[in-house]
Homo-oligomer: A and B are copies of this chain.
Amino acid sequence: MRKVYLSNTPRQEALELFQSKTGIKRRTEEIAVKEAEGRITAEPVFARLSMPGYHAAAMDGIAVKADNTFSASDQNPLSLEADRGYYQINTGGALPSGCDAVIKIEDIQILEDGCAEILAPATPWQHVRAVGEDVVAGELIVPSRHNLRPPDLGALLAGGVTEITVLVRPKIAVIPSGSEVIEVGRERQKGSVPDFNSTVIAAYLRQWGAEPEVLPIVPDDLAQIIDALEKALEKHDLVIINAGSSAGDKDYTYSALDQIGEVFLHGVATRPGKPTILGQALGKPVIGLPGYPVSAYMSLEWFVKPLVYQSLGQLPPEREKLEVKLGRRVVSEIGVEEFVRMTIGHVDGRYIANPLTRGAGVTMSLVRADGLLVIPANSLGHEQNETVEVELYRPEIELRGNLLAAGSHDLIIDLLGTALKERNPRVSLSSAHLGSMGGIAAIGRGQAHLAGVHLLDPETREYNRAYIRKMLPGQKVHLVNLAYRMQGWIVPVGNPDGTAKIEDLAEKKLSYINRQKGAGTRILFDHLLDEANLTPDQIYGYEREEHTHLNIAAAVAAGTARVGLGILPAARAFNLDFVPLAEERYDLLISDSFYNSPEAALLFDIIKDPDFQKQVEELGGYSMRDAGKNITVK
């Protein structure tokens, strides 16, 4: 087994090294102007013809020779003979020879004999578009390195330019590698990984102006990787190998590049993105991207995007930046530049950001992210409530309408988000999965619009009210029922262990999968333990945590746990069995300021909409009988 230690080169230094040692060769091609939107000019372009190419009427009316109209006045109307003294003309029409002015249709009267009567003289060249007013031959239309927009195409065509020399979109090969990698859509076996990275990488490259080509998947075999790399280098300006850039015994990207070219660097001081390889072969840049999706896409953006834009003589567009207040602490390690995906909502006039999971493999963290927090290598991170700057993945204007749902997560919250967006494209919803307790705290700090809560108070045996009273004393908040939902044991098909009560878990030593601290379901489980006079150490797997009902069900489905506590739709999603335990009340805790907003009114409309309620109840285990009902907190 090889032992390879990656270097820890700062990202900026790595990019400078890469750019100083290699780059994409700039080439030009001639294309039709009609097809040139978004392309980059290779040289300044000058008009060949003038537009208009003749003196033209700027108004609908009649063309005259101004000299012949000097006598016209209110008292002394002048009558001009058709097709001798005047000519009918429409906007854009060519001025008949001998004419040098146009009189507007509103200012003339056509008499019965066809003569035109005018009440004022025309001044020479009035209402005449001079030749070349729009574009004049010889004029610079667009400079070199110009990104062609729709009106540019118009000016070029008006100026008689129908073909144009542009910079070639760099051709980039994407080589998916790995013996476990299969094409997307193929049936998955245990241990096989569908190659979705190539689709994402190609889509990014196209956005940036490159022309990607995804090549066939290459297994973990040095000779085959070298062969694929050599072939790709023949036709492409840059080659990406994904993955095989790490330090495992089957990571051949380093060796392949080392043999036929040169490795500049292996390992960048970032998280995610560390196992990146930068090098060249045949004078062309080659990059080995990490296999984890988030790592791969970030590394692609850091090292390939600048090269693509450079080859097109452009600067990569900068992301909008925004000051946000942190809803949660974000710790970081010294020596590593960290990239934390964040959800951002606009609560009471302030932007509140919460970190998403940092897993380098969690594509969903990029899907859900509204922005990115970059923590420099020399920082230990940031405290809760600290104000930090984030780079935005969505325009700020969109984030203004972004509701922040903290607290417990339920599929209904997602359905609410999608229904909101359907009814008003200005409104969207981001979730911070903080658990019920975290949700109440976030509402308490004014850092969320709403929070899903389902917390059973053992003493009163009632949901939510006692917790809110205790955690938010004196604060005006609103509690609105969303649904009742059935909690129960999620177990394998046929319930082979006969799980029924919590005592079964302890007695039969069933491998359990728990929810995270602060989650309502965790608190329910602890309450059940208490009632049964059991302690956590009697439950095998009590320490193993997941963050959602679906992930609990997934673990049971994968056979690594025998039982979990959760809701019916989660069991259904995996075709598992479900043993109902208790119906719980799932409420929305809502801040006072949001409660009275138009967005909240829309939210309540949706909750009370029979179609929406039907959609929810069809998920299974939900009752919407009190949906939208206000619950007195005090």
Show the binding face of A for B, using Cβ within 8 Å. Answer: 1, 3, 5, 33-34, 37, 43-44, 49-55, 58, 60, 88, 90-94, 100, 105-106, 110, 124-125, 129-146, 149-155, 157-158, 160, 162, 178, 180, 184-185, 188, 190-191, 193-194, 196-197, 199-201, 203-204, 206-207, 246-251, 291-293, 297, 313-315, 317-318, 359, 361-364, 366-367, 395, 397, 411, 414-415, 417-419, 421-422, 425-426, 428, 541, 543-544, 546, 548, 550-551, 553-555, 557-558, 560, 569-570, 572-574
Give the residue name and chain of the B residue nearest to A95 (CB).
B560
Contact across chains for A162 and B144 when beta carbons are under 8 A apart = no
**Residues of chain B with a CB closer than 8 A to A44's CB:** 414-415, 418
Contact across chains for A190 and B54 when beta carbons are under 8 A apart = yes
**Residues of chain B with a CB closer than 8 A to A555's CB:** 130-132
- Min Cβ gap A511→B in Å is 9
Contact across chains for A150 and B204 when beta carbons are under 8 A apart = yes
- Min Cβ gap A147→B in Å is 10
A-B contact list, 30 entries, CB within 8 Å? A1-B110, A37-B203, A37-B207, A44-B418, A52-B361, A55-B558, A60-B247, A60-B249, A90-B251, A91-B291, A91-B292, A92-B178, A130-B546, A130-B560, A131-B555, A132-B554, A137-B573, A138-B569, A138-B570, A138-B572, A140-B411, A142-B367, A143-B418, A150-B203, A150-B297, A152-B367, A154-B363, A155-B363, A313-B421, A315-B426
Contact across chains for A150 and B554 when beta carbons are under 8 A apart = no
**Residues of chain B with a CB closer than 8 A to A154's CB:** 196-197, 199-200, 293, 297, 363, 366
Give the residue name and chain of the B residue nearest to A123 (CB).
B543
With contact pairs A134-B364, A137-B574 given, residues A421 and B143 touching in the complex (Cβ less than 8 Å): yes
**Residues of chain B with a CB closer than 8 A to A151's CB:** 200, 293, 297, 363, 366-367
**Residues of chain B with a CB closer than 8 A to A136's CB:** 548, 550-551, 554
**Residues of chain B with a CB closer than 8 A to A88's CB:** 1, 249
Q: How far is the CA of A251 from the CA of B91 in the complex (A)?
A: 10
Give the residue name and chain of the B residue nearest to A178 (CB).
B92
Contact across chains for B54 and A138 when beta carbons are under 8 A apart = no
Contact across chains for A144 and B422 when beta carbons are under 8 A apart = yes
- Min Cβ gap A589→B in Å is 21
One of B135, B417, B560 near A363 (C-beta < 8 A):
B135
Contact across chains for B58 and A364 when beta carbons are under 8 A apart = no
Contact across chains for A203 and B153 when beta carbons are under 8 A apart = yes
Contact across chains for B557 and A200 when beta carbons are under 8 A apart = no
One of B144, B145, B551, B569 near A132 (C-beta < 8 A):
B551
Q: How far is the CA of A137 from the CA of B557 in the complex (A)?
A: 11
Given A37-B207, A134-B364, A160-B188, 14 more contacts at CB 8 Å?
Answer: A3-B106, A34-B184, A90-B251, A131-B555, A132-B551, A133-B362, A136-B551, A136-B554, A138-B553, A138-B572, A143-B428, A146-B421, A158-B196, A313-B421
**Residues of chain B with a CB closer than 8 A to A200's CB:** 150-151, 153-154
Give the residue name and chain of the B residue nearest to A148 (CB).
B203
Give the residue name and chain of the B residue nearest to A275 (CB).
B91
Contact across chains for B141 and A317 when beta carbons are under 8 A apart = no
- Min Cβ gap A596→B in Å is 24
Q: How far is the CA of A140 from the CA of B573 in the complex (A)?
A: 12
One of B138, B158, B560 near A194 (C-beta < 8 A):
B158
Q: How far is the CA of A43 from the CA of B572 in the complex (A)?
A: 21
Contact across chains for A367 and B141 when beta carbons are under 8 A apart = yes
**Residues of chain B with a CB closer than 8 A to A548's CB:** 136, 139
- Min Cβ gap A145→B in Å is 5
Contact across chains for A34 and B155 when beta carbons are under 8 A apart = no
**Residues of chain B with a CB closer than 8 A to A201's CB:** 150
Contact across chains for A145 and B422 when beta carbons are under 8 A apart = yes
Contact across chains for B203 and A90 when beta carbons are under 8 A apart = no
Give the residue name and chain of the B residue nearest to A415 (CB).
B44
Contact across chains for A362 and B134 when beta carbons are under 8 A apart = yes
Which of A137, A158, A204, A314 has the largest number of chain B CB atoms within 10 A?
A: A158
**Residues of chain B with a CB closer than 8 A to A54's CB:** 190-191, 558
**Residues of chain B with a CB closer than 8 A to A250's CB:** 90
**Residues of chain B with a CB closer than 8 A to A421's CB:** 143-146, 313
Contact across chains for A137 and B554 when beta carbons are under 8 A apart = yes
Contact across chains for B49 and A188 when beta carbons are under 8 A apart = yes
Contact across chains for A425 and B361 when beta carbons are under 8 A apart = no
- Min Cβ gap A209→B in Å is 13
Q: How far is the CA of A49 from the CA of B193 in the complex (A)?
A: 12
With contact pairs A105-B248, A124-B544, A145-B422 given, residues A560 and B132 touching in the complex (Cβ less than 8 Å): no
**Residues of chain B with a CB closer than 8 A to A247's CB:** 60, 105
- Min Cβ gap A454→B in Å is 19
**Residues of chain B with a CB closer than 8 A to A125's CB:** 544
Give the residue name and chain of the B residue nearest to A185 (CB).
B162
Contact across chains for B137 and A425 when beta carbons are under 8 A apart = no
Q: How far is the CA of A154 from the CA of B300 in the complex (A)?
A: 14
Contact across chains for A248 and B196 when beta carbons are under 8 A apart = no
- Min Cβ gap A274→B in Å is 12
Q: How far is the CA of A521 from the CA of B626 in the complex (A)?
A: 82
Contact across chains for A199 and B361 when beta carbons are under 8 A apart = no
Give the residue name and chain of the B residue nearest to A37 (CB).
B203
Give the residue name and chain of the B residue nearest to A300 (CB).
B150
Q: How far is the CA of A190 from the CA of B34 in the complex (A)?
A: 24
Contact across chains for A190 and B94 when beta carbons are under 8 A apart = yes
**Residues of chain B with a CB closer than 8 A to A152's CB:** 367
Q: How far is the CA of A428 from the CA of B162 in the complex (A)?
A: 25
Give the residue name and chain of the B residue nearest to A361 (CB).
B134
- Min Cβ gap A125→B in Å is 6
- Min Cβ gap A458→B in Å is 30
Q: How far is the CA of A106 from the CA of B2 in the complex (A)?
A: 11
One of B50, B141, B207, B318 near A150 (C-beta < 8 A):
B207
